Amino acid sequence: MEDTPKLTFPAFFAATINNHPDRDAMALVGQKPISYREVNDRIMGTMAFLEKLGVRAGDKIAILSTNQPNWGITYYAITFMGAVVVPLLPEFLPVEIATLLEHSETRVVFASEGLLPKLVGISTGLLQEVVKIEDFSVVRSRSGMPVFDKNAKPKGVYNVEEDALAAIIYTSGTTGTPKGVMLSHKNICFTAIKGHEIQPIKATDRFLSILPLSHTYENTLGLILPMYRGACVYYLGRPPTPAILLPALLEVKPTTMLTVPMIIEKIFRSKILPAFTEKKAVSLLYKIPTIRKFLHRIAGKKLMETFGGELVFFGVGGAKLNKTVERFMIEARFPYAVGYGLTECAPLLAGFNPQHPMLQSTGPACIGVELKIVKSDERSGEGEIWAKGPNIMMGYYKEPRLTSEIMTPDGWLKTGDLGAFDESNNLYIKGRVKSMIVRSNGENVYPEDIESVINNFRHVVESLVVEKKGKLIALVHFNQEEIELRYQFLKSEVSDYVDQKIEELRMELQDYVNSRVNKFSQVQLVVAQPDPFQKTATQKIKRFMYT
């Protein structure tokens, strides 16, 4: 840490400008990257524009935008002058956005063109301007229409301290009381350094960003970390559908990517597993461990080619990775890594790199972060994970009661996650405290473990296990399109056949699951879920909506 600059964004950026001024910094896929020197010029122009808008240190400025270079430039400009950025997820509904703009006391909103309609009709007491982020043109103002000048320089001199509030990140929209996580410059910069310690980042690295920058996972590790090390980030500019993502992978040839489990799990179930299970002869051979590993190694090489062939770090976070999929990545020698954390920790608490994979573990705590298990079960050692360190949030914005419920007076954060350590202090996550089901006989059941089994069953996209009237019920979303494609030769009868096939799968699935879980975790009913589950930004199912 001796050579580390002051733990603020402007100090990090100043060090990068000093060391790598002409390195590529950021670009949209298909466009020429701009250098860190050019990014610096654009930040200066944006800071001068913010001054024209009357923005001062401590003011709240929101970003409602898809990923693009101007997202990061705006973020830096806001925080470099001591103002506070409020990143909003593009998926938020207008009513949620209105609530959060009011709660955060936002003065200015920078929005991408496609999201501007979500702001129509929204007016709060403090909101002054709405700015289109692509060209910084003012589209709505209460005090004239200031014009952006890219060559302007800020008039003020700003000295940002490490403990200054940098961002308020909302983990949800209007599900109850808005919870705005307050993160300081130090919280985020410390965490970026921890990311570098887990996987060293070089100025020659190329990041391909596919998760929303408004989520702290992508924000800290996909924006601040590469900036800290002088690496380049490429943005898709559009949702990462296969038609968009696959050509981008071949063009960028990323060395580093941050993803959520759903992405690699979908690739495994739709592209890799069918190749080994659809033909009976291959399926029988696939059950033999030595042959399975050989087949996985071949598939791993093809997967690497699909991702551009130069990948060295494929970070997975945001939710627990399916055990079968993780075993495949280990046997395929695919350079995956797992991290654990939450928004309140900016977000990283533990992790491992591709050189040290640990099946179903998150690895050890980050250096400088303390983790402990509280109220642990004597038999299993499982209990709630508490965390302490320089990355723990300042609290929830304007919510001292909610803050006191999750943080102890001496600085420990109650994560709400259940976990245990092994003899080498590697952490294993069992599930959420709130989602754990206590059966009538006192046995603890972790629905995530049952869901992991269900999700390995053919044609299953995702699932959710809940308890109703003392019974365990599995809500299962089957891949109807996949079933239709498989039986399309039936033509006119395909619709009726799909319904019949789903009914057969539903019955078969119950036997499949119950033969693979303990007696306390056995499912009494499988219910077909016709539509995909509602999800968070990191593609975790919003469990509260179904329980």
298-343 pLDDT tens trace: 999 999 999 999 999 999 998 889 999 999 999 999 999 999 999 9
444 or 30, greater pLDDT: 30
Is the pLDDT at 145 greater than 70? The verdict is yes
Contact 397, 441 (CB under 8 A): no
Contact 76, 123 (CB under 8 A): no
CATH number given to 260-432:
3.40.50.12780
- Provide the pLDDT confidence category of residue 440 given band limits of 50, 70 and 90: low
Q: 469, exposed or middle or buried, with CB in 10 Å at 0-12, 13-18, 19+?
A: exposed
168-190 pLDDT tens trace: 999 864 445 789 999 999 999 99
Contact 71, 63 (CB under 8 A): yes
Q: What is the DSSP string of 397-438?
A: TT-HHHHHHHB-TTS-EEEEEEEEE-TT--EEEEEETTT-EE
Tell me where in the chain the CATH 3.40.50.12780 domain(s) lie: 9-226, 260-432
CA 226/CA 178 separation, integer angstroms: 30
CATH number given to 437-545:
3.30.300.30
Contact 188, 343 (CB under 8 A): no
CA 205/CA 255 separation, integer angstroms: 6
Per CATH, domain 9-226 is 3.40.50.12780: yes
Tell me where in the chain the CATH 3.30.300.30 domain(s) lie: 437-545
Torsion of CA 514, 518, 524, 526, to 10 degrees: -50
> Which pLDDT value is given to residue 2?
45
**Which two three-digit tokens encode residue 176?**
């109850």
Q: What is the DSSP string of 343-387?
A: GGGSSEEEEE-TTS--TT--BSBPTT-EEEEES--TTT--EEEEE
- Give the pTM: 0.89
CA 394/CA 10 separation, integer angstroms: 20
- Of 272, 267, 320, 270, nearest to 538 by C-alpha is 320
**Which two three-digit tokens encode residue 349?**
């608490």
CA 125/CA 102 separation, integer angstroms: 8
- Provide the pLDDT confidence category of residue 116 given band limits of 50, 70 and 90: very high
> Which pLDDT value is given to residue 104?
97
485-529 pLDDT tens trace: 765 555 555 566 677 888 888 889 999 999 988 888 899 999 999
Kindly state the helix (H) or strand (E) to which residue 275 belongs, with its residue range.
helix 273-277
Residue 24: φ, ψ to 5°: -60, 140
Q: List alpha helices for 59-215, DSSP H.
A: 69-80, 94-104, 185-198
